[in-house]
């Protein structure tokens, strides 16, 4: 326990940098910019930057949007936040197609890598710069990626779990969509990190569904099915609070460790109460801002590269920083 505290305090003080930079640095001089955009840049008119998010109705969307709005206040920038209600690839594609003639630059977080890659390539072929943020799309020709490396963040979560368990225990992994790309990436990172500890067994991955009641019931059933579970590793925002609530309400705080993601109100409260041992923030506001900023820099002639927006780790010791 003590050893764990040192470890987390140490790691929480710095934003870990992800090693996986997959795109090469790129400059506008190497890019076949559409003439209308080149004219706009030359004339100094405000640049229309579109930021498409994969589901504007999820809980991160407001944070990403506020980052985009912060960027919109920059001189010479019109930043607009768009995207489908519900993770709907067709809706995302048709919206971007409709707006493409107005775009001077596009930042996109794809609903599905496969579905969006051809569209991204077409937009680039039309001379409009495209970068990815939040969720990368490595299959496309996107210029760079701004965000958290999902495999890496999963790995961090796995390491935190191994730390709080002291290297031994039975863990279940919870996710609200086990089949989604982001979930598969984080899961593989987490399993990889946990596999380094022979004393830890990953019992199963629990697909919880999205409704809060459903999530709670799924966790409740799973905990009853295996009474020897000592750790719950949640891969996203939304199964973290129900996992904490279950542990809290069943008097198992401390016996069963919870490591999760993001800084929902409820998560913050559970961390401060010591029910959830650690949570990983992915700074969604910063992702929204950086997405616009990178495109503006690129059009302004600066060379840009992949940007890691970092993994912020919060534990009971530093959670006060986010409790305003």
Partner 1 sequence: MTENPTAASGPGETRPSPQKTWSDPPRVSLIRRLLSAKETGVFLALVVMCVFLSMSTESFLSTTNLLNVGRQVSLLGIMAIGMTFVLISGEIDLSVGSTYALAGLSTGMLIVLGWGLVPALAMGLACGAAIGLINGLLSTYGRLPSLIATLGMLSIVRGSALLLTDGRPVTVNVRNGADPAILDRFEYMGQGYLFGIIPMQLVFFIVLAILGWLLLSRTAFGFRVFAVGGSEKAARVSGIHVPTVKIWSFVIMGILAAAAGILSLAFLPSGQAGRTGLGLELDVIAAVVVGGASLAGGLGTILGTVFGVLIIGVLRNGLVLLGVSPFTQEVMIGLVIIVAVAIDKWSSTRRST
Residues that bind partner 1 (CB under 8 A): 55-59, 61-62, 85-86, 178-179, 204-207, 210-213, 216-218, 220-222, 224-225, 227, 238, 241-242, 245, 249, 264-266, 269, 323
Cα distances (Å, whole numbers) of residue 5 to 160, 171, 197? 10, 20, 18
* Closest approach of partner 1 to the CB of residue 231, in Å: 17
200/238 with CB nearer partner 1: 238
* Residue entry with tokens 């913050």: 268
Spell out the long-range contacts of 237-241 with Cβ–Cβ below 8 A and sequence spacing 24 or more.
237/59, 237/60, 237/261, 237/262, 237/264, 237/267, 238/59, 238/176, 238/210, 238/212, 238/264, 239/174, 239/175, 239/176, 239/208, 239/215, 240/264, 240/267, 240/270, 240/276, 240/279, 241/266, 241/267, 241/270
State how far the Cα of 88 lies from the Cα of 84, in Å rounded to an integer: 6
Using alpha carbons, select from 221, 161, 229 the residue that is nearest to residue 191: 161
Shortest distance (Å) from residue 157 CB to partner 1: 19
> In the complex, what is the shortest distance from the CB of residue 13 to partner 1, in angstroms, rounded to a whole number?
25
Give the closest residue to 266 by CA, choosing from 215, 226, 203. Answer: 215
CB of 186 to partner 1, least distance (A): 16
Least separation in angstroms between residue 267's CB and partner 1 is 9
Q: Please say which residue, 32 or 249, places its beta carbon nearer to partner 1.
A: 249
The C-alpha R_g of the chain, in whole angstroms, comes to 21
Residues 159-181, buried b or exposed e (16+ Cβ, 10 A)?
bbbbbbbeeebbbbbbbbbeebb
Give the helix/strand (H/E) hosting 215: helix 212-225
In the complex, the smallest distance separating the C-beta of residue 241 from partner 1, rounded to whole angstroms, is 6
What region does 259 belong to: left with phi over 0, alpha with psi -120 to 50, or beta?
A: beta
Kindly tell me which of 45 and 211 has the beta carbon lying closer to partner 1: 211
CB closer to partner 1, 163 vs 245:
245
By C-beta, is 43 or 227 nearer to partner 1? Answer: 227
The nearest distance, CB 197 to partner 1, in angstroms, is: 23
Q: Which residue, 13 or 227, has its beta carbon nearer to partner 1?
A: 227
- Tell me the closest approach of the beta carbon of residue 60 to partner 1, in angstroms: 9
Return the number of the residue (40 or 191) whose C-beta is nearest partner 1.
191
Task: Work out the angle between the directed axes of helices 2-12 and 150-164 (0-180°, nearest 10).
Answer: 150
147 or 241: whose CB is closer to partner 1? 241
């Amino acid at each position: 326990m003590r050893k764990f505290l040192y470890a987390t305090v140490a790691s929480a003080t710095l934003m870990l940098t992800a090693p996986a930079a997959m795109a090469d640095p790129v400059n506008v001089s190497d890019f076949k910019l559409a003439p209308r955009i080149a004219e706009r840049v030359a004339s100094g008119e405000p640049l229309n930057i579109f930021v498409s998010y994969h589901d504007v109705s999820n809980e991160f969307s407001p944070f990403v949007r506020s980052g985009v709005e912060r960027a919109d206040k920059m001189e010479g920038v019109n930043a607009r936040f768009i995207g489908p209600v519900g993770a709907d690839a067709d809706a995302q594609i048709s919206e971007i197609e409709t707006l493409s003639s107005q775009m001077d630059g596009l930042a996109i977080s794809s609903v599905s890598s496969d579905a969006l890659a051809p569209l991204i390539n077409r937009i680039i072929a039309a001379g409009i710069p495209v970068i990815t943020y939040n969720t990368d799309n490595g299959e496309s020709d996107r210029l760079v990626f701004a965000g958290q490396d999902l495999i890496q963040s999963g790995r961090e979560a796995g390491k935190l779990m191994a730390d709080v368990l002291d290297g031994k225990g039975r863990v279940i992994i919870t996710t609200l969509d086990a089949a989604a790309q982001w979930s598969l990436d984080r899961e593989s990172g987490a399993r990889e990190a946990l596999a380094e500890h022979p004393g830890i067994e990953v019992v199963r991955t629990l697909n919880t569904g999205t409704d809060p009641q459903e999530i709670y019931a799924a966790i409740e059933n799973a905990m009853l099915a295996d009474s020897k579970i000592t750790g719950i590793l949640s891969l996203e925002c939304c199964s973290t609070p129900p996992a904490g609530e279950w542990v809290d309400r069943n008097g198992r705080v401390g016996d069963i460790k919870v490591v999760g993601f993001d800084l929902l109100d409820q998560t913050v409260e559970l961390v401060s109460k010591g029910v959830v041992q650690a949570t990983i923030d992915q700074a969604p506001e910063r992702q929204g801002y950086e997405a616009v900023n990178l495109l503006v820099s690129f059009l302004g002639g600066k060379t840009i590269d992949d940007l890691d927006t970092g993994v912020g780790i919060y534990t009971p010791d530093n959670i006060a920083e986010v409790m305003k």
